[in-house]
Amino acid sequence: MSAARVVVVGAGVAGAATAFGLARRGVAVELVDAGLTGRATDAGAGIIQPWTVSRDGAFYELYSAGAAFYPSFVAALAEHGAPDVGYRRVGSLVVSADPGALDEVESRLLSRAPDAPEMGAVQRLGRGEALTRFPLLDPTNHGIWIEGGGRVDGRLLRAGLLAAIEKLGGVVHTGGAGLEATDSGIRLLLDGTPLAADAIVVAAGAWTNSVLAPLGFSVPVEAQKGQIMHLHVEADTSGWPVVHRVSSSHYLLAFDGGRIVAGATREFGSGFDTRVTAFGTQEVLQNALSVAPGLANAAVIETRVGLRPLTLEHDQLPTVTRLDAGDAVPLWVNAGFGAGGLTMGPVVGDRLAEEIVGAL
């Protein structure tokens, strides 16, 4: 197995987690990334709380498995030289001014709790009680407290994965990856120079189809723009929870040092536009201030823009599959996580690594 060499194209969470999974199974790994602006991992909020999602079936099972995998995943990273990726179980809140609007969420959580012990305790909070956990919230809100909710810093996670891969003997390249079909099979090029591989994984996020196009392949993934604002408040925010408003895709979460993250837009048909726009800024701020008016005097640090690799499949599952590209150099794809990449990416990458090892 040590002689096998796998090249992974894309160093966001999906690609880096796959490469880490391969490296710690003894595979020689090379990771290639073009460093394009708009990588979803770098902008993602990092919420690890899948249990309130309304979708059932395979999507929920994968989402929940992602959260369950995190403690062992973070421990493995620490073992290989990446002790801090910003992961912490800080709890999460679902809030609404209408207590009745929380009933369905509470029922869903309680029905899932027996199969998801990592969810922890679920507690109903009366009007104003959520303020004790996130002091900037509208005091008229009722809430549901979910003990096991967590968050991770996407940039720290990616950096930790790359460091661990290199510590395990892997190689990380910055440059453009290209694929071409030859008489003897697929060939991978790094900035035009051939790079030897016994297998290839394309995990290039929103750019996956651009990488696959020379081979005539495509997968049901397109870019979806998300604008996410980072604010600063003068408070100890290290233990503040994730906040969701019921029936909304917008959220708040806190990191150490007074940093509050407010997001996010979901801009369908955005293409590869990475501009911060007036409309996106208005949408994020309007939603943030409506749920947490105490943010009115927060300082604006930055707005990050990420291009989520949005799956176009009805089941919303990512595309994780081996393509029929001949047997000389097997080719896998790992893409299409949408807004769930930081939750699902690590467990899917590890599972794919195991599959690849079994196939080589």
Digit-coded pLDDT (tens) for 19-51: 999 999 999 999 999 999 999 999 999 999 999
pLDDT digits (tens, 9 = 90+) for 228-246: 999 999 999 999 999 999 9
Phi first, then psi: what are they for 320, rounded to 5°? -130, 100
- The confidence band for 314, taking pLDDT boundaries of 50, 70 and 90, is confident
| Mean pLDDT of the region 194-215 | 96
pTM score: 0.96
Q: pLDDT value at position 74?
A: 97
Q: pLDDT value at position 324?
A: 86
- The confidence band for 249, taking pLDDT boundaries of 50, 70 and 90, is confident
**pLDDT of 93 above 90:** yes
166 shares a domain with 307:
no
- Looking at the chain, the whole-number percentage of residues with pLDDT higher than 70 is 99
Among the listed residues 345, 269, 310, 307, the one whose alpha carbon sits nearest the alpha carbon of residue 37: 307
> What range defines the domain where residue 28 resides?
5-41+155-221+314-359
In a domain, residue 275? The reply is: yes
| Mean pLDDT of the region 190-205 | 95
Mark which of 272, 289, 311 sits at the end of a domain.
Answer: 311
* Averaged pLDDT of the chain: 95
| Mean pLDDT of the region 122-149 | 96
| Mean pLDDT of the region 152-180 | 96
285 shares a domain with 229:
yes
In a domain, residue 69? The reply is: no
pLDDT digits (tens, 9 = 90+) for 176-191: 999 998 877 889 999 9
227 shares a domain with 303:
yes
In a domain, residue 196? The reply is: yes
Q: Which residue has the tokens 């790994």?
A: 29
24 shares a domain with 136:
no
**pLDDT of 1 above 60:** no
Dihedral sign, Cα of residue 93, residue 96, residue 101, residue 103 = positive
CATH code of the domain in which 352 resides = 3.50.50.60
pLDDT digits (tens, 9 = 90+) for 264-288: 999 999 999 999 999 999 999 999 9
* Paired strand residues for 47: 151
| Mean pLDDT of the region 288-299 | 97
In a domain, residue 78? The reply is: no
- The confidence band for 4, taking pLDDT boundaries of 50, 70 and 90, is confident
DSSP string across 235-278: S--TTPPEEEETT-S-EEEEEGGGEEEEE---BTT-TT-----H
In a domain, residue 102? The reply is: yes
Mark which of 311, 332, 350 sits at the end of a domain.
Answer: 311
* Paired strand residues for 8: 31, 201
* Paired strand residues for 66: none
CATH code of the domain in which 143 resides = 3.30.9.10
217 shares a domain with 268:
no
pLDDT digits (tens, 9 = 90+) for 47-76: 999 999 999 999 999 999 999 999 999 999
In a domain, residue 81? The reply is: no
Count: domains in the chain: 2
The pair of structure tokens assigned to 267 is 């801009």
**pLDDT of 248 above 90:** no
236 vs 230: CA distance, rounded Å: 16
351 shares a domain with 207:
yes
In a domain, residue 46? The reply is: no
122 shares a domain with 179:
no
239 vs 129: CA distance, rounded Å: 16
